[in-house]
Amino acid sequence: MFKFLLDIFAPKKCYSCNKEWNFLCEKCLSNMSNFSPICYVCKDKSNNFEVHKNCQQDVYYDKIILLSHYKNIAISKLIKDLKFYQKRDISEDFWLYLSRLFLDNEIYKNTDDYIIVFPPMWFIKKLKRWYNHSELMAKIVSKDLWIKIESKLIKKVKKTRQQSKLNKEERMNNLNDSFILNDKKIINKHNKIVIIIDDVISTWSTINEMSKLFKKSWYKKIIWLIIASD
């Protein structure tokens, strides 16, 4: 009821055109510079964002499904407001586009073959912010796609520095042993496809390190579902 009244008296407005009812309307999204299906390793065209076979060396993810470019002003402002300025309702707008994007680029028959996870935060950082924005999106996408979310499957056990400020070697060392899987939550992993939901790809090493953790634990396939990339 509160949200219904809020939408009436203080409706959402599109960050791009100021049209009411959405933080980002479909028309503005369609007019932006968005991603066509590519292999994220070589950036060439790919079927449904799959990594090409000849690009798979030392790569542990199978596809990265991308919505838009971070250089789009409205997209970058939406993500910053979601992450840093307590505007949690923005996650409810993004889930529609992420769910649709997934359905357009992944053919599946059984939702039980999949699980949804999200990158965990260092606990002190989460206490300061009060929420994990990727977790908010993952929970809504989980409900929409009827795919189970495993919120405690992966943990962050080490504080890390901001990846974008490090060189390639520092990035890899920064992430060493920073994530672990919760063995109590691992069930039928050989048949499971992992969908990891996040806002932005800032560094390739973060995504590959998390994917490596799942692949080495014998998960079948790793898919990233991302709002934006540079």
- Give tens-digit pLDDT for 151-185: 888 888 776 666 556 666 666 666 666 788 887 76
Rounded (to 5) percent helix, strand, coil in the chain? 45, 20, 40
Rounded distance between C-alpha atoms, residue 202 and residue 199, angstroms? 9
- Specify if 142 maps to a domain: yes
- Specify if 1 maps to a domain: no
**Nearest by Cα to 159 from 192, 125, 132, 200:** 125
DSSP letters spanning 74-126: HHHHHHHHHHHS--TTHHHHHHHHHHHHHHHH---S-GGGEEEE-PPPPHHHH
- pLDDT, averaged across the chain: 84
Residues 56/46, Cβ–Cβ less than 8 Å: no
Look up the domain containing 95 and give its range. Answer: 13-229
- Specify if 7 maps to a domain: no
The distance in angstroms from the start CA to the end CA of the chain is 39
- For residue 121, the model assigns a pLDDT of 79
- H helical segments located in the chain: 2-9, 26-31, 73-84, 90-105, 123-129, 133-145, 168-175, 204-216
Question: Residue 63: phi, psi to the nearest 5?
Answer: -160, 150
Cα distances (Å, whole numbers) of residue 181 to 138, 192, 216: 18, 14, 11
- For residue 40, the model assigns a pLDDT of 93
Rounded to a whole number, what is the largest CA-CA distance in the chain?
Answer: 54
Residues 3/16, Cβ–Cβ less than 8 Å: no
pLDDT at 12 > cutoff 90: no
Q: pLDDT band for position 218 (50/70/90)?
A: confident
Q: How many domains does the chain have?
A: 1
- Specify if 6 maps to a domain: no
- For residue 180, the model assigns a pLDDT of 83
Per-residue DSSP letter, 170: H
Q: In terms of pLDDT, which residue wins out, 39 or 3? A: 39
CATH number, domain of 159, equals 3.40.50
Taking the CB of residue 160, how many other CB atoms lie within 10 A of it? 17
The whole-model pTM stands at: 0.87
pLDDT at 188 > cutoff 70: no
